[in-house]
């Protein structure tokens, strides 16, 4: 196991991450904005879900990912346009 610093250092890093998140300047917000921009430019309908969507309903919590809902067709178009250009497919799902 690698050394991640003292408990105090990890706690301070977590607080700094939370501050960036709640100020909407963290990496997850940048990723969400970039994703939305690409989807909008490609005219692919989408919805943001999960913790990022909770803020719109008055409940904010820190997260490290962006959950995006796409139609089957939208996903196919996104893959065709974006895979290999900063996006990688980690899991392959069979359509329902």
Q: 9-29: per-residue pLDDT in tens?
A: 999 988 998 898 888 889 999
Q: In terms of DSSP H, where are the helices of 23-82?
A: 27-41, 50-54, 72-82
CB 95 within 8 A of CB 72: yes
Structure confidence by residue, pLDDT tens digits, 42-93: 999 999 999 999 988 888 888 888 999 999 999 999 888 887 777 767 777 6
CB 52 within 8 A of CB 67: yes
């Amino acid at each position: 196991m690698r050394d991640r610093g003292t408990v105090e250092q990890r706690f301070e890093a977590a607080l700094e991450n939370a501050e960036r998140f709640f100020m909407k300047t963290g990496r997850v917000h940048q990723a969400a904005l970039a994703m939305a921009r690409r989807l909008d430019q490609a005219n692919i309908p989408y919805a943001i879900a999960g913790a990022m969507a909770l803020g719109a309903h008055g409940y904010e919590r820190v997260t490290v990912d962006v959950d995006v809902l796409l139609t089957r067709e939208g996903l196919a178009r996104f893959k065709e346009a974006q895979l290999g250009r900063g996006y990688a497919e980690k899991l392959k799902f069979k359509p329902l």
